Amino acid sequence: MKAIQITKNGGTEVLEYKEVQLPVPAQGQVLVKIHAAPVNFIDTILREGSMPPGMMPELPFIPGVEGTGIIKDANGTHLNKGDKVAFLGVIGSSAYAEYALVDAGKLVVLSKEANLQEAAVLPVNYFTAYHMLKNVARVERGKTALIYAASGGVGTALIQIAKLLEIRIIALERRDEKVKNAMSMGADHAFNTSDENWKKKLIEAVGENAINYVFNPVAGNSIKNDLELLAPLGHVVVFGFLAGMGEFNLMQELMTNFSKAPTVSFSELYATFFNNYASVDKGLKELYQWLDEGKIKPVFETMPLKEARAAHEKLQKGLVRGKLLLITE
């Protein structure tokens, strides 16, 4: 079969499109003919070899942690050959390939009418958004949420699900075209953080201390702004550190805003995957029900599997709107 294989860590040049051996399912696994393999930032980190010790797969490996496809070999499990399926897998799930092995208990069977490209967008991005909104922040109807990187994969999902939950949405982006895109997706207000007056403009639009929830993949020094804008009893959910750790004392900032009694939480997808998969399964099934009902509409673009190098470059340059999928056929 054809696959993207990494034999050494480095830049995009290490993504090799080549012929590799077809995997054979062990007990409890099924063989899935992959249709769409999403590209995630974790794939670029793994490619570079920058994951913490103990989290890097052994070389050589095939990247990709989620996908959709059709079961080729059900291998005696409760599933059936020909089922359309989606999966969220662990690091090393090898989805950048024509075929992949997946644990039968970690698959979601889709409807026969399911669009395998739309469905591929949901496992990482939409479940991340769903989990933060419903399980971490436990949002309430009518409240206000501040969403960073609102035109990205998780940001898009946050906007769509927050609208379903009747949350007022304030979007943040760093480019004017992405600010406009966030508004077109349904944000109530959107601001460009490259504008040094963005906080002043936000406060003028929605009022002081008006943000009930913040969903922040940037972290760094941005949490200082979050706490400043936060309403009393507000909740900041950090799910990434694109800007690093920051150059301030978080405890000191929390004490400065102590009268608001703020909550700061961290959301990490695999902590939930490994310790409470039942909630992942429940969330994914509700998301796919919403997809079937037309309540959510994934935003994505596609590239052929063999163009994985260009796909990684596009993602790392911040040029992807929504999700980028590698298509095998």
* Strand 29-39 versus strand 99-103 pairing type: antiparallel
Positive or negative, the CA dihedral 89, 327, 148, 193 is positive
The answer to whether residue 247 scores a pLDDT higher than 90 is: no
pTM: 0.93
* Strand 144-147 versus strand 99-103 pairing type: unpaired
CB 40 within 8 A of CB 128: no
- Higher-scoring residue by pLDDT: 146, 57: 146
Longest dimension (CA), the chain: 61
**Digit-coded pLDDT (tens) for 10-58:** 999 999 999 999 999 999 999 999 999 999 989 999 999 988 777 888 9
CA distance 32 to 81: 9
Tell me the CB-side half-sphere exposure of residue 261, using CA atoms within 13 A.
2
* 173 strand-pairing partners: 192
Q: How far apart are the first and last CA of the chain?
A: 12
Residues in the chain: 329
Residue type, 281: D
CA distance 11 to 311: 12
* 301 strand-pairing partners: 324
**Digit-coded pLDDT (tens) for 49-108:** 988 777 888 999 999 999 999 999 999 999 999 999 999 998 888 999 999 999 999 999
pLDDT for res 51: 82
Mean pLDDT of the chain: 94
The answer to whether residue 243 scores a pLDDT higher than 70 is: no
**Digit-coded pLDDT (tens) for 252-298:** 877 888 889 999 999 999 999 999 999 999 999 999 999 999 999 99
Q: Return the H-helix or E-strand segment holding 208.
A: none
Return the HEC string of 114-182: CCHHHHHCHHHHHHHHHHHHHHHCCCCCCCEEEECCCCCHHHHHHHHHHHHCCCEEEEEECCHHHHHHH
**Digit-coded pLDDT (tens) for 176-205:** 999 999 999 999 999 999 999 999 999 999
> What proportion of the chain, given as a percentage, has pLDDT over 90?
84
Task: Find all residues with CB under 8 Å of 292, minimum gap 6, and list them.
Answer: 111, 113, 114
CA distance 5 to 278: 31
Structural domains in the chain plus CATH codes: 2-121+298-327 (3.90.180.10), 124-268 (3.40.50.720)
